[in-house]
Amino acid sequence: MREGQRVGEVGEPLRVALLSYRSKPHCGGQGVYLRHLTRELAELGHRVVVFSGQPYPELDRDDILLRKVPSLDLYADENPFRTPALSEYRDWIDVLEFAHMRTGGFPEPLTFSLRVLRELRKYRHSIDVVHDNQVLGYGNLAIPRLGLPLVTSIHHPISVDRRIEIEAAKTLKERFGKRRWYGFVDMQARVARRIGPVLTVSESSKHDIIRDFQAPPEQVHILPLGVDTRYFHPRGERVPGRIVAVASADSPLKGVSTLLRAVAKLATERDVHVVIVSKPRPGGPTDRLVGELSLGDRVRFVSGISDEELGELLASAEIAVVPSLYEGFSLPAVEHMASGTPLVASRTGALPEVVGDAAILVEPGDVEELAGVLGRLHDSPGERERVGAAGYARVQERFTWSAVARATVGHYEAAIARHRGRRPEGA
C-alpha cells in the first residue's frame, strides 16, 4: 500500500461485504451470481465476506468468509411453511417473520435486512463497501448511516414476476394470495428509489426497474453477468433427440408448460425427449401436465446436481430451450451458448439483448411456433451446428466472470469516493 493511502481507496484491495437473503448455489440467479462474483473478487485480491440467510451458499475459495444470518427457515424444501417450536424464537424479528408467513406474505427480504443491519454494526470497522444482492429491505436504508458505502444489484424487478403470476391465477382467492405473497415488492420499490447506485444486468432490466420501481435513471447502471467456462463448454458427442432446459418447473414465468406442450406435439412425429433441470412439486401444475400430455418417458427432471454434472448435461443436448415469459438476463441462456448447444429462446425481456443473433427467437407462450422450430432444428444438423457455433462465439466475446468482477470493483470504488467524509453512526 502506498504511504498515506487507506484501505478502500482506488487501486487498493477492498474489504467487501456481500448480502444475500438466500443463496442456493446451483439454481436461482442470486445464488449463482454470489458464488461466481465472490470467487472472482477474491482472485483479484479483494477480501470478501458473505452475509447470508438459508439456504447458505457454496463458496469456491477458503479465504471467502461466510457469516451466517439465520432465519427461521420457513421455506426449507423438506418442510415448507413449518411452525417453529417456541424454543426457536430468538427475538422480535423471528416473531415478525412467522406472523408475516402465516398471513400469506413472504417476509425474508425484510427480516434479513433487519438482521444483517444488526450484524453490520458489529463489523463496520472492517468493511469498506457493502454490496446488496437484491435484498432491498427497509434495513438496507440504514446501512449508509453506519458509514458504509452501499451498492445494490437488481437482477430484475420482482414486480414482473408478480404481474405474470397474478395474471396466471385462475380464481379470486388465488389472485388475492399472489398479491399478498408479493407484498414485499412494494417495499423493494420504495427502497430502490432511495438506495443509491443500482447495478442491473441488461437494458431491458434497467427499463423495467425505472418503470416499475421509479428508480432514478442516472442511478441504474448496466453490468452483464458472466459464465463459468470451467464447467460450461463443448464436450463432444451429443445425445440424439435430447432437448434441455433449465427452468423453475412450477413458475408460470419460466414457460415450462409451453415447452412440454411443444415436446408433446413433436414426439408424435420424432424421437425426442426433454431433460428439465428443476424439481416440480408432486401433484403440482407441471406434474399434472406431464400426465395430461402422456409424456411418460419423454420427459425427465433432474435437481441437486453439481456444476460439473450440469455442464455435462447441457453439452450433451442437441437443442437447448429458454421458454420463459420474461427474463431480466438469463444466465442459463449464456451457459447453453457457452456449451455450444444451439439455443431456442423466447423473444421477451432481455433475452434478445443477451443472445443477439446467436439463437433462434420465438414468441413466448406460442406452442406451435416453438414446436415448429424444435422440429426444424431436430431435422437439420447443419443449422444446429451453425447456431451452436454462433452462441459459443458470442459468449467468448462478451460474458466472463473476471470481466464482471473488475467492472463491479469500479462501481465499489465510485461508491466509496462518493461516501468519503460522512461520519458513521456513533463515531
Domain ranges of the chain: 15-226+401-419, 242-398
- At residue 31, the pLDDT reads 87
In angstroms, the CA 179 to CA 149 distance is 33
Closest residue by Cα to residue 326 from 213, 160, 201, 189: 160
- At residue 275, the pLDDT reads 97
pLDDT of residue 6 exceeding 50 = no
The residues, any chain, with a CB within 8 Å of residue 394's CB and separated by 6 or more, are 337, 355, 356, 358
Q: Is the dihedral of CA 191, 192, 194, 195 positive or negative?
A: positive
Provide CATH code, domain 242-398.
3.40.50.2000
- Predicted confidence (pLDDT) per residue in 335-364, tens digit: 999 999 999 999 999 999 999 999 999 999
CB 3 within 8 A of CB 12: no
Name the grid cell of 206: 434497467
- At residue 422, the pLDDT reads 60
Name the grid cell of 74: 420457513
Asked whether the bond before 55 is cis by omega within 30 degrees of 0, the reply is yes
- Right CATH number for 15-226+401-419 from 3.40.640.10, 3.40.50.2000, 3.40.50.1980, 2.40.50.320? 3.40.50.2000
- At residue 236, the pLDDT reads 86
- Give the mean model confidence (pLDDT) for residues 394-419: 93
> Comparing 15-226+401-419 with 242-398, is the CATH topology the same?
yes
